Structure 1
Amino acid sequence: MPDFSDSLSFLILGSDRQVGRSLIQYLDSRQIPYQACSSEQLASPDEVGKIVAAAQSCSYVVNVLFEEPSEGTDVDLPFWLGLANSIAEACAQCHKPLFQLSSGLVFAGKSSRAYVETDLPDAHSALGRTYIDIEQEVVERWSKTVLLRASWLFSEQDGNYLTQLVGAAVRLETLKVSGHLRGCPTYAMTAAKVLVAMAEQVDCGAEPELWGVYHYADSDACTMHTFAKTVITVVKSMTEVKVESLEEGNSPGMIDAVNELENYELGCKRILSTFGIKQRPWRRSIHDVLKEKFSSHG
């Protein structure tokens, strides 16, 4: 017997993203029905309405298109905003609840404590301001929306900070990583499971109290340097590397050079009290992710 209700099914927008791929893997493992659209299939806002309307068998839309881009990746931010608006409007017209991935970059990073959902977004960067605009406009267009802020996503997929670290450790003898940038590394698979768990509770009829903004991040918060140190230790146990020294400093080629403390830690008490979702330690996932990465590359 399936361990989900007959009404539970998903339209995944952004199936080629880290969380999108994890969603497909997780839903397949539980035999939960879904339809998946990659970012290439959503290249035009005009097509979004047609895609959402055509997915008549899907009861929920999960939009994970707007993951934080990797360092050096060019993003058409006005296009992102237009696409987000079209998705929200299409969901409203089809009366499909929307679960959308957002980012802790809505904050400026100047807080001395973890950010909570009631904190006013105050980002200064163009990317952070775009996340703020997307959140505001999506909620205005469709009330039955859950926004899940996450950050520092990692997975087996190339292009995230973890895989960049692995590549650098194999090639370089010395790495310099910021000790001023603090946040919450989060396994993409865990984020995918959280999105599904939230949808399952909504599917049980626990709305309308559940709509709104939530934070999820794996525990524990750390600096980029601490995260890198943990990753390199695991990598050394699995393969030969050149890296001999991991220094604390600026590394413009891999992350933003930060001279003053920037803190993007996300407080996750609301998701615990509302959905009963507990944080999973990110360190538990590092070994599994790297083992999968090295095994898949022969």
Structure 2
Amino acid sequence: MQNIVVFGASGQLGQCLKKVAALKGITSIFFLPESEANILDADLLNQIFERYKPTHVINCAAYTAVDKAEDDIDLARKINKTGAENLAIQCKAYGAALVQVSTDFVFKGDKPNPLVEDDIAEPISIYGLTKLEGEQDVAAILPAHYIIRTSWLYSEFANNFVKTMLKLGAERDELKIIADQVGTPTYGIDLAGAILDIITSGTDNYGIYHYSNEGVTSWYDFAKGIFDISNTQVKTNPIRTSEYPTRAARPAFSVMDKSKIKKTFGISIPYWRDSLIVCIKALESVQ
């Protein structure tokens, strides 16, 4: 009998996991928001593990304000590194496996080929660095780990690029969108399904895995897709990264190779635009 505990459950991926778990009929899963389960409180974590005795833990808690992290280094490192370390220690003590969600930001993004799991990680931002440190701590402490790197996460929940574009597209006549950062969007519902499929697969093929939707796009083309599918009439102009400076640097190319996760777990991954259609329909249904 598997007992799954989700930390950071009030965030975007946590809410996606809740929706998918219900659809899959998974009942032995417990969703703990940050307000009830601070991953920096070791004593509280011990009480939580003693209460739930999980076989699997999913860590969705993270400091994800990419630009703010450049000036808020200590807090970003506490949440992304120390918090992950704390969960790994507890998982080891209780014999649980840990799913640590990570990011394409661990890569520099200067190579033209899709990134595989053993490519050298060279983060160019504090966010990416602290997420990589979290990966390294988890791997060093706990053999029973799944580190799942994802990219450009969006869904019908929380704040994300899709919801921001729909809002701005309805408010403005013209938008400028970066066209020289290339990657792949990830629908949170698809990622949640993959995580739960891995946990319920009955295998222990631990290690690092990449997961995003299939295909390659830029932020500009992603935005154009959002507007096309939602029938939003707004003029969209492509711009270079240099025309929109941000506090933190972003990888220019962060397309990830998903061969490993597909082969190991038999996971089928949808094309990014197909999943975007599903998400926009879900958003329209609740308006």
Partners of 2:76 and 2:130 within 8 A in 1: yes
Which is worse superposed, 112-121 or 62-71? 62-71
* Matched residue SS, 2:36: helix
2:37 match: 42
Compute the displacement of 1:212 (Å): 0.7
Aligned to 2:196: 196
Question: Which residue pairs with 1:217 in the alignment?
Answer: 212
Which of residues 6, 12, 31 in structure 2 aligns to 1:12? 6
Q: Provide the C-alpha distance between the structure 2 equivalents of 1:268 and 1:31, rounded to a whole number of angstroms.
A: 27
Contact 2:55–2:97 (Cα < 8 Å) also in 1:
yes
* Aligned equivalents of 1:255, 1:274: Cα separation in 2: 40
The offset of 1:255, in angstroms, is 8.9
Q: Which digits, 9 at most, give the CA deviation of each residue in 1:161-201, with x for residues without a partner?
A: 11111111011111110111111101001000100111122
Query: CA 1:70–1:288 in 2, change beyond 3 Å: closer, same or farther?
Result: farther
Aligned length: 280
Residue 26 of structure 1 pairs with residue 26 of structure 2: no
Q: Which residue of 2 aligns with 1:77?
A: 76
State the distance in 1 between where 2:248 and 2:78 align: 28
Structure-to-structure mapping, 1:98-113, within 5 angstroms: 98-113=98-113
- The alpha-carbon distance between structure 1 residues 275 and 261, as it changes in their structure 2 partners (threshold 3 A), is closer
Report the Cα distance in structure 1 between the residues aligned to 2:167 and 2:235, rounded to whole angstroms: 15
Normalising by structure 2, report the TM-score: 0.90
- Of all paired residues, the percent bearing the same amino acid is 21
- The alpha-carbon distance between structure 1 residues 145 and 99, as it changes in their structure 2 partners (threshold 3 A), is same
For the Cα contact (< 8 Å) 2:107–2:128, is it kept in 1?
yes
CA deviation profile, 1:268-291 (whole Å, cap 9, x unmatched): 111122112232112112222122
Q: Which runs of 5+ in 1 are unaligned?
A: 1-6
**Change over 3 Å in CA distance of 1:143–1:225 after alignment to 2:** same
Do 1:178 and 1:258's aligned partners in 2 also have CA atoms closer than 8 Å? no
Residue among 58, 63, 66 paired with 2:59: 63
Q: Which amino acid aligns with 2:58?
A: V
**CA offsets per residue over residues 13-64 of structure 1, 9 Å max, x none?**
11112211111111112221211101222334322222122212x3211112
Letter aligned with residue 39 of structure 1: E
For residue 281 of structure 1, what is the amino acid of its counterpart? Y
> What is the aligned partner in structure 2 of residue 273 from structure 1?
263
Decide whether the 8 Å contact of 2:12 with 2:158 is kept in 1: no
Change (3 A) 1:234 1:255: farther
Paired residue secondary structure (1:40): coil
C-alpha distance after superposition, 1:239-292 (max 9, x if no partner): xx5x53100015899995999980011111111221122321121122221222
2:194 and 2:115 map into 1 onto residues whose CA distance is 19
2:177 is matched with 177
Counterparts of 1:123-272 in structure 2, within 5 Å, are 123-201=123-201, 204=202, 206-207=203-204, 210-236=205-231, 241=232, 243-250=233-240, 256=246, 262-272=252-262
Matched residues in 1 for 2:238 and 2:119: separation? 30
Q: Quick check: 2:16–2:157 contact (8 Å CA) kept in 1?
A: no
CA RMSD of aligned residues (A): 2.5
- After superposition, the Cα gap between the structure-2 partners of 1:154 and 1:147, relative to the gap in structure 1 and judged at 3 Å, is same
Structure 2 gaps of 5+ residues are: none
| 1:99-125 residue CA offsets vs partner (Å, 9 max, x unmatched) | 111111100111111110010101121
Match of 1:4 in 2: none
After TM superposition, what 4+ stretches of structure 1 lie above 3 angstroms from structure 2? 67-75, 250-261
Secondary structure in 2 matching 1:146 = strand
